[in-house]
């Protein structure tokens, strides 16, 4: 069984998230999503989510191509997660290209292309300015 691991906040789930998660799952037989906790988002990313961690977790768990959701509580946990969950492939959006190459001695690292013209930040900005959401 080939296990894939990805990370993210996945707030206001949109087609870009779905595309990334589907392509991640296509890299193996099992997809684990490390979901940023509310505390981690606020303290480390200066980000406040519209949906709580608990709600985002339920949403991700309802997707047929997500097999397990675990909490992302700090930047340093990636090596531990890879080892603990016997991960074969670590994947993340290509906007992080090169940042996680240090994992290559533990597993394959794949940077997936992002879906053009969509992001949670843009959705939030559109809502705030009364544009299309």
Q: Specify whether 57 is catalytic.
A: no
- Which candidate in 47, 57, 97, 104 is catalytic? 47
- Which candidate in 45, 97, 104, 124 is catalytic? 45
- Tell me the DSSP string of the chain: --EEEEEE---S--HHHHHHHHHHHTTSSEEEEEEEPHHHHHHHH----SS-HHHHHHHHHTSTT--EEEEE--GGGHHHHHHHTT-SEEEEEGGGTTTTGGGGGTSEEEEEPPPTT--HHHHHHHHHTTS--
Q: Specify whether 47 is catalytic.
A: yes
Kindly list the catalytic residues: 45, 47
């Amino acid at each position: 069984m080939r296990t894939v691991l990805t990370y993210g906040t996945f707030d206001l789930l949109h087609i870009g998230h779905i595309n990334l998660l589907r392509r991640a799952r296509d890299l193996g037989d099992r997809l684990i999503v490390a979901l940023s906790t509310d505390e981690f988002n606020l303290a480390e990313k200066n980000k406040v989510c519209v949906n709580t961690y608990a709600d985002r977790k339920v949403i991700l768990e309802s997707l047929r191509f997500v097999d397990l959701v675990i909490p992302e509580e700090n930047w340093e946990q990636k090596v531990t997660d890879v080892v603990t969950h016997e991960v074969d492939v670590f994947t993340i959006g290509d906007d992080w290209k090169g940042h996680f190459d240090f994992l290559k001695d533990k597993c394959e690292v794949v940077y997936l292309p992002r879906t053009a013209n969509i992001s949670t930040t843009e959705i939030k900005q559109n809502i705030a300015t009364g544009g299309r959401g």
